[in-house]
Each structure stands twice: as structure tokens, then as C-alpha cells.
Amino acid sequence: MGCAVPVQPFQSSAQLCLGRAAPDREISLAVPCDAQALEIDSISCVLQEKLRVAVLVSKAALQFIHGVSLPSEYKVPDEVKAAGFEICADELGSIVEGHDVKRLTINGGVEGLATKLSTSTTNGITTTEEELKRRQDIYGINKFAESQARSFWVFVWEALQDTTLIILALCAFVSLIVGIAMEGWPKGAHDGLGIVASILLVVFVTATSDYRQSLQFKDLDKEKKKISIQVTRNGYRQKISIYDLLPGDIVHLAIGDQVPADGMFLSGFSVLIDESSLTGESEPVTVNAAYPFLLSGTKVQDGSCKMLVTTVGMRTQWGKLMATLSEGGDDETPLQVKLNGVATLIGKIGLFFAVVTFAVLAQSLFSRKLQEGSIWSWSGDDALKMLEYFAIAVTIVVVAVPEGLPLAVTLSLAFAMKKMMNDKALVRHLAACETMGSATSICSDKTGTLTTNHMTVVKACICGKIKEVSNCKDALGLCSDIPDIAVKMLLQSIFNNTGGEVVINENGKREILGTPTEAALLEFGLSLGGDFQAERQESKLVKVEPFNSEKKRMGVVLELNGGEFRAHCKGASEIILAACDKVVDGAGQVVSLDEEALTHLKGTIESFANEALRTLCLAYVEMGTDFLATNPIPIRGYTCIGIVGIKDPVRPGVKESVSICRSAGVTVRMVTGDNINTAKAIARECGILTDGGIAIEGPVFREKSLEELNELIPKIQVMARSSPLDKHTLVKHLRTMFNEVVAVTGDGTNDAPALHEADIGLAMGIAGTEVAKESADVIILDDNFSTIVTVAKWGRSVYINIQKFVQFQLTVNVVALIVNFSSACLTGSAPLTAVQLLWVNMIMDTLGALALATEPPQDELMKRSPTQGKGIFMLDGPDSDLILNTLIFNSFVFCQVFNEVSSREMEKINVFKGMLTNYVFVGVLTSTVLFQIIIIEFLGDFANTAPLTLTQWFASVVLGFLGMPIAAAIKMIPVG
């Protein structure tokens, strides 16, 4: 589209380039990587390398400056002191950007910086209006400078740059000069002013369309930037927008989050930061107390931590670098690239016809003058005739070049994007609209997509006893049935081995923060009578290994009051149970996990799973007194505490959506990390798993040979216990071995490879991490599978709308060329003047695109030849030629009006159904007819038309309408 796009925070290295390059693989109706795509890729690489070098040079320069300057020279500016702070924004920025450990130490370390920023590392900043205002005044806000939006007149100026319109404008200028010189004002100016008015109309309609699109894409761009982050303020953990962050804020980061500002590590475990988007380096950086520097725009690859914000907005290293770069809008989509090639070819054909038409018309003039013997005597009228012929030739080129094709694609894509936005789907790349229309396979996640992601523990097996625990009464009943020591160990496991947190919010109410699974377990622990804060204070957290989709487990090591260490782990039931060799029995004693107990636990897992419950196993191991934080958490020798069954109901409407996909030829597969029995139960409930389908586990899948996969993959409907690599492999084989167009849903950092490998990636907007969203083409804002079906529907709509418009425009092109060319060859004159052809071009390109690109999936082909001959209309007199040409022009326009109506349906006879509900279509048709009446009846001198009688008007409308039954008849002819 070429409009200016505001600089966004938190972009990948690919986004720093001129937009998203054309896909490097061929999909339905898309083109393979061509010279243009290669050029875009090369530009992307150059920009990314420049960015990487700039970062490294910036770091080196800062380190050099800090090396030759004395930190003691720093003096706190008076305005900073007056505001109640002891360090300025520039000093903070230099510490983080230069990774200056020496200067950090001189400032008292991270705790010293927090003190100088007047914040608490436990309670965060206070949020009184005065306090926030002072921080903003001294340190700025967390927003990057945006490029100024282009005004409407810029689009007008760009529309005026069209070469053919410039040529026509020159023709109009010459026509004005010669006409006024020969016939005086105003009669001699009619032709020239008519062309000028037509040019201005074309320019303003085109500019208005482009300007409105730019505003729409700007609105969509704002939606992409709506990112929330968890912070501690006033002693409460809460969610705020990244744009509200200020130096001194305490930010909570977890796997998949993007660092929202420059800052310092406060506390955390196993933090790995991916800085590739900033430096281009692929190796992750370990961040800890020894190396505490966190940079805006980087991503948390593993672990979790708390960060002290030091620098925001344009003062961050990312902000300074982004100020030196500009970002372009979306590149042309594959369909636009292809249609541009078609437009160029048709334009060349039109140019040929234009040259031939001009030659024939000029030859007729020369022949007449030769017969009259006035070949060397040229009057002003003769010059105007030649100028008119040239203008007609140029206008034929204008009509022939289908510039409306790319416009129609853009309009259809923009319309589809807007509709999808209303339907809770945010499109990040234009090409995704096209690609989704060709999707033949959807690999869907289970949790949060097919299910509601509102989890609750409804069953538990503790000390060998299975209990319903769907409410507090049931939970308290469980407590009374099992020994106190088992309850204590269970609560210690739940409240310490978690990535969630139980907090008291500003309203004094208890609030659970964390993933739905963590929230369900914490709620279960609270219902058992546990106290989160008290439990956390009884022991010291020494080591944390966050949940990982590869390991499917989470582990922590606690240092108990007596100096002993104990590790807790939880995760996929089969995996954790396999790591256990002991179990807590009904008396609360730790006993060996014999065959009978193991069979009972496995049967419990299976029965829970068959009830469509997600199962988690909790276990612990005693580690003595010699554990070091650098040691790994054990993977064997655990004691099983119990198994819980978590209910996650299927979303309403999923079964119907899956059925719609199947009837549309789209195969839906469930790929999940859950137990295979749970996955099969949910898949059957959703209608995904059918009688002929196969459910397979990831470990079994990855052991298959290529020959076995070739036979197996088409039948796979469920993959359980899958790793990120399994999901990626399945998607890759579907695309390469079976030529499927694959859509993939995902929400975690681990889903990024599959999202990137897929033809179209769909990230979850609620549960999805920022890394997953960045790897995706479409963000599903409500995490609902039904929305994915909506995206597919609008994707198909784009293709069908373009098919309709291509057929409509090509029929107009062919007829316009034939009418003028054949008439020029047969009669030596053109029935359609330059002004009339420009009006037809308006109907065909801009208005036609606007009307047909915003329709539901419909199309139709109509061909219509103009009627010629004065005898048919019994025309006589000096104005008979003018009236005949007006009738041809009028009939031609009404042919296009009814052609647009017929084009609403590709196959159905009834093209009127739903027409009145499409206000854009009705508005375009009404405007076209009204302007046509004005042109014929009131703009005769300007448009070279003559007023028509009611009979002639009726005849024009009837001639145009005749195309509709012809189109209906064509639809009835069987094809293939």
C-alpha cells in the first residue's frame, strides 16, 4: 500500500526490514520466490546486519567512553534532585546500554539504582498522580516516535503521477488552447474541460480509496501494539499496558515474554534471553545477578524473573536504533504480484490496440483530406481532430490497463481484515488472508482453542483414595480422609512448585495470577485450607526449573528450616510417575511403589483421561543437606504424592465448526501434549476423531520411517504427548509430502517453530506468548476455534471476490477495446470519446473494485457486444451520429451495471439474494446510475453526449439487462 507505518516496539529482526517478504514456497494461487522476493530478502538481510553492527558499535563506544571517564565525575542534575530522584535518565541508559558493571557497582548495584529511583524492589512505585507525572517528566514515557501519517493531499499527488493521466492532461491543455483559439470561450473549451474534469474525478476517487485504506491499516496496526505486562505497584501485582511503564517499575517476566523496556535483573531462575532481534546473535544470553542487563525488544527464552525498569521509550537502546530506521508497509501479497503481471500483459495488448486505433483514425482523416486535395492545408479543426484521436488512443490505454486488479485485491484484503477484526481475528500480514483461503489442513492445539481454558480440579487421587473435589466441601472432605502429613506435603508441592501467585489486590480481594493450569492447582490448594504466603515463608526457594514443553515437567528445590533440601516436581502424569519409585499410602507413610500400587495409579490416570480430564502428577524427593544451586534437579527417585484431574470444557460451537471444516474439504487435526486418552475423549467430543481416524502419541510418531509416515499421516487425526519437534515434523510432512496448505494454532514459545513452518500461523491472543504472536500471521483474539473457521471463510471470500472482479473487468476491457477498435476500422470514427471512456474506466476499475471486492463469495461471467446502426433506432438528422454514440455509450454503461449484479454469484441463478443488505454495493450501483443520468442529460458539451428520450433510455436499460439472462443461461451449462 505504501503508506507510512508507525514504528512499533517489540519487533523481530524480520520486521525491521521493509515488511514481510513474499513467501519462499508456492501455495495455491501464490507465486514461488522470484526476483522481487529475492531482492526484498537481500534488503532485509542488509538492514538486519546494519542493525546488528549498530548495536555492537554502540556498545563498544559506550564502553570506551566509560573507560576513559571517571564515574565519580557524575553529578545529579538539579531538576532530577528537585523531583526526588538521585539519578538521571542518561546515566541509567549508559549503565544498561554499555553493560557497565563498574558503574553499576559505584551506584550501589541494582538495589542502589532502585533507591535512587525512589522505588521498592518488593512493592514497586507508588502510583499517585503527582508521582507518575514527576517520573514521566524526568524519564519520559515508554513510547517510540511514530512517523507522521500522510495527509489526503499526499495521496492526491501520488494519484496524479500516473503517466497516462499526465498524457491526457497534456492533451486537455492543448485542446483548451486550440479550441479557445478556434471557437472562443466557452464553446471551444468544452472538450478540454471535460477531460480535465474526468481526470480530477479519477484522481480524487483513487486518492480517497487509498487514504481510507491507510487509515484502516493504521487502526489495525494500533491493535497489534496492545500488549499488557504484569508489574508490582503499590505492593500489588497487576496488569498494565507496556506504554504505562516507568523507570522504577518492577516487571514480572516469564517464558515467551518480550522485555518491554531496558532494565536490570532483580531475582529469578534459569533466565535465558534471546537477543537475536537486537544483535543478530543466535545464542541466548544467561541473565542473573552477575550479569543483570535486560534490553528492550529481546525475548525470554527460558526461566522467569523480576526486572527493575531503568530506561523507557526513545532512550532505550532499541528506541535509539529504531529512530535511525524506517519501516515500510506490507509488501505486495503473492496474489497482487501475480495480478500485476496480468495487468502488465493486458496493458501491452491495450497499447497495441491503442496504436492501431490511432493509426486507423488518423489514416481516415488523411484519406479524406487526400480526396479533398487539402493534404497540405491544415485547419484548427483538423488539428483538434488529430488531438482527439490521440486522446482516444491514450484513453484506450487507460481503459485497457486493469489497474483495478491490484486495487481490488487490496480492497478485498482490507475489507476481509476489517471483518476478521470484528470477528476477533487480527491479521498481521496481508498475505495471510489469501493463504488461509487455500488451507486444506488445520493442526489445532487443544487447550484454550478447542477448550475454554478455564480449568478447575474436579478429581484427585491422594494416598490411593479417589475423590470428587469440584467444590470446597468436597475438598475439605478429602482433607479429613487423608493423613495430615500427606495434606501438608500436597500443599507444600502446590504452593511452592508453581509459576503462579496468590495476591491481595487493591480492593483487598484475593486474586490468583498465573496460567489456567497453575490457577486451577492454586485454587485447589486454597480450597484444602492452605495459606499461600505462609507456606512460601516456611522454606526457601533455592532452584527453579520452569515448565518446559519438551520435558513436560516443572521442578523446584526447597531449603527447609533444618537445612535439608527437598525437590518437588509436577507434570504429565505418565512422565512423573515413571520417575517415581515410592508412593504415599493411605496411612501417610512412604512405601515402595509396587506393581499393585503402580497398576492402581495407571488405572486412575486412564479413568481420569477417559472422562476428558487433564491429569497432573505431583511428586517429591528428599535430597539431604549437600545440594548446590548449580546442581541439576533429580529426574529419578521421586515419591508420588497424588494425581489430580483438571476439567477444561469444550468451547460451545467447536463441534459445528469442525463439521463445517470437514464439509469444506479442510481436515482438522488435534496436536496436544496431553495424555492420549484425554486427547481422544476431547477429539471425539469435538468431532475431530472419527471411526477411520488414528490417534497416535508423539514418541511413537517420531520413531516411524518415512515410508510408514507416508501411509500414516493422512489418517492421523489426533497426536497426543507431542513435543514441539513432533508438531513441526507433522506440519513439514503435510506441506512437503502431501502438498497440503497447512494452518497451525499455537500459544507458547515452543509453538514458534511450527507456526513459522506452517503456511499460515495462528497465535492465541489471550493465552499466547509474545514470541508465539510474533511468529504468527494471524492472532486469534478470543482463543476460539470457531474464529479460525471465520478466518478461513474470509480467506476464501478474498479469492472469490477477485475472481468476480477479474471476470467483470476483462469483459469490460474486451468490449471497450472491440467497440472503439471495430468502429474506428469500419467507420473511421470512435463512438466512445475520451471523457466517456474515462467514465467507463471509473465504473470498471475503482467503483467496480469497491462494489465486488466487498461481496460474499460470488462470481459470474457476462459478455456483451454493443448494438450498432442508426436504422434500429430510426435516427435521422444532423445529431444522429451523436445520439447513436450516446446510445452506445449509455447501453455500454448499463451493460456493466447489470454485469456487476450478475457477478454477485458465480454459480447460482438468483443473483439478487442479499443484495439490498450490502449497502456498499447498492450505494455504488445507485451512484453509477445517477452520475450516468447527469452525464447524458446535463453534460452533453463536456462528455460529447446528447439528451435521450424516454424510449431511448428504456432501450439502453433493456440492452444492458439482456446480459443477465445470458449470464443465467451460461451458468446452467455443465462444466467439466
Instruction: Give the count of beta carbons closer than 10 Å to the beta carbon of residue 286.
Output: 13
| DSSP, res 846 | I
Are the C-beta atoms of residues 805 and 853 closer than 8 Å to each other?
yes
> Could you tell me the CA-to-CA distances from 460 to 516, 531, 834 in Å, in that order?
17, 20, 82
Using pLDDT thresholds of 50, 70 and 90, give the confidence band for residue 423: confident
Is 737 a residue whose pLDDT tops 60? yes
Instruction: Give the count of beta carbons closer than 10 Å to the beta carbon of residue 874.
Output: 8
Task: Report pLDDT for 622.
Answer: 93
Mean pLDDT of 5-26: 33
Mean pLDDT of 97-119: 89
Using pLDDT thresholds of 50, 70 and 90, give the confidence band for residue 858: very low
Distance CA 429, CA 795 (A): 13
SS3 labels along 527-573: HCCCCHHHHHHCCEEEEEEEEECCCCEEEEEEECCCCCEEEEEEEEH
Residues ≥6 apart with Cβ < 8 Å to 283: none
Residues ≥6 apart with Cβ < 8 Å to 523: 456, 457, 512
Using pLDDT thresholds of 50, 70 and 90, give the confidence band for residue 465: confident
CA atoms within a 13 Å half-sphere pointing along the CA-CB vector of 413: 28
Task: Report pLDDT for 600.
Answer: 93
User: In this predicted model, which residue has the larger pLDDT, 851 or 138?
Assistant: 138
Mean pLDDT of 573-587: 92
Distance CA 837, CA 474 (A): 80
Which residue type, as a one-letter code, is found at position 680? Answer: K
> Tens digit of pLDDT for each residue in 677-702?
999 999 999 999 998 899 999 999 98
Computed over every residue of the chain, the mean pLDDT equals: 77
Residues ≥6 apart with Cβ < 8 Å to 315: 89, 90, 93, 139, 140, 262
Task: Report pLDDT for 601.
Answer: 94
Distance CA 506, CA 7 (A): 35
Is 34 a residue whose pLDDT tops 50? no
Residues ≥6 apart with Cβ < 8 Å to 878: none
Are the C-beta atoms of residues 804 and 365 closer than 8 Å to each other?
no
Distance, first Cα to last Cα, the chain: 38
Instruction: Give the count of beta carbons closer than 10 Å to the beta carbon of residue 666.
Output: 19
Task: Report pLDDT for 251.
Answer: 93
**Catalytic residues, which ones?**
445
Is 227 a residue whose pLDDT tops 90? no
Coil, strand or helix at 294: strand
Output the nine-digit C-alpha cell for 463: 494416598
Is 767 a residue whose pLDDT tops 50? yes
Mean pLDDT of 467-496: 86
Residues ≥6 apart with Cβ < 8 Å to 936: 886, 890, 943, 945, 946, 947, 948
> Tens digit of pLDDT for each residue in 162-212?
765 676 677 677 667 766 766 667 776 776 777 677 678 777 877 776 777
Distance CA 699, CA 869 (A): 79
Using pLDDT thresholds of 50, 70 and 90, give the confidence band for residue 20: very low
User: In this predicted model, which residue has the larger pLDDT, 272 or 412?
Assistant: 272
Of 790, 786, 791, nearest in space to 452 by CA: 786
Task: Report pLDDT for 406.
Answer: 60
Output the nine-digit C-alpha cell for 26: 508456492
Using pLDDT thresholds of 50, 70 and 90, give the confidence band for residue 7: very low
Mean pLDDT of 73-101: 86
Task: Report pLDDT for 35.
Answer: 36
Are the C-beta atoms of residues 465 and 482 closer than 8 Å to each other?
yes
> Tens digit of pLDDT for each residue in 369-395?
788 777 777 777 777 778 777 767 766
Output the nine-digit C-alpha cell for 451: 477448550
Are the C-beta atoms of residues 610 and 677 closer than 8 Å to each other?
yes
Count of residues for the chain?
A: 976
Task: Report pLDDT for 238.
Answer: 84
Is 9 a residue whose pLDDT tops 50? no
Are the C-beta atoms of residues 518 and 250 closer than 8 Å to each other?
no
Using pLDDT thresholds of 50, 70 and 90, give the confidence band for residue 890: confident
Using pLDDT thresholds of 50, 70 and 90, give the confidence band for residue 861: very low
Using pLDDT thresholds of 50, 70 and 90, give the confidence band for residue 779: confident
Give me the percent of the chain exceeding a pLDDT of 70.
Answer: 73
Mean pLDDT of 628-647: 91
Mean pLDDT of 502-531: 86
Mode of pairing for the β-strands spanning 299-311 and 262-274: antiparallel
Are the C-beta atoms of residues 20 and 12 closer than 8 Å to each other?
no
Task: Report pLDDT for 824.
Answer: 61
Using pLDDT thresholds of 50, 70 and 90, give the confidence band for residue 490: very high
Using pLDDT thresholds of 50, 70 and 90, give the confidence band for residue 443: very high
Mean pLDDT of 59-84: 65
Strand-pair partners of 442: 668, 743
Using pLDDT thresholds of 50, 70 and 90, give the confidence band for residue 671: very high
Mean pLDDT of 392-404: 65
Using pLDDT thresholds of 50, 70 and 90, give the confidence band for residue 337: low
DSSP codes joined into one string, 92-143? HHHHHHTT-HHHHHHTTHHHHHHHHTT-BTTTB----HHHHHHHHHHH--S-
**Which of 32-46, 152-166, 663-677, 788-802 has the lowest average pLDDT?**
32-46
User: In this predicted model, which residue has the larger pLDDT, 605 or 46?
Assistant: 605
Is 934 a residue whose pLDDT tops 60? yes
Distance CA 455, CA 450 (A): 13
Using pLDDT thresholds of 50, 70 and 90, give the confidence band for residue 335: low
Of 449, 518, 969, nearest in space to 658 by CA: 449
User: In this predicted model, which residue has the larger pLDDT, 411 or 509?
Assistant: 509
User: In this predicted model, which residue has the larger pLDDT, 609 or 200?
Assistant: 609
Mean pLDDT of 733-751: 85
> Tens digit of pLDDT for each residue in 530-544?
999 899 999 999 998
Q: Name the strand (E) or helix (H) holding 212.
A: helix 190-224
To 10 degrees, what angle do helices 516-527 and 484-496 make?
A: 150
Task: Report pLDDT for 863.
Answer: 25
Task: Report pLDDT for 24.
Answer: 35
Is 279 a residue whose pLDDT tops 80? no
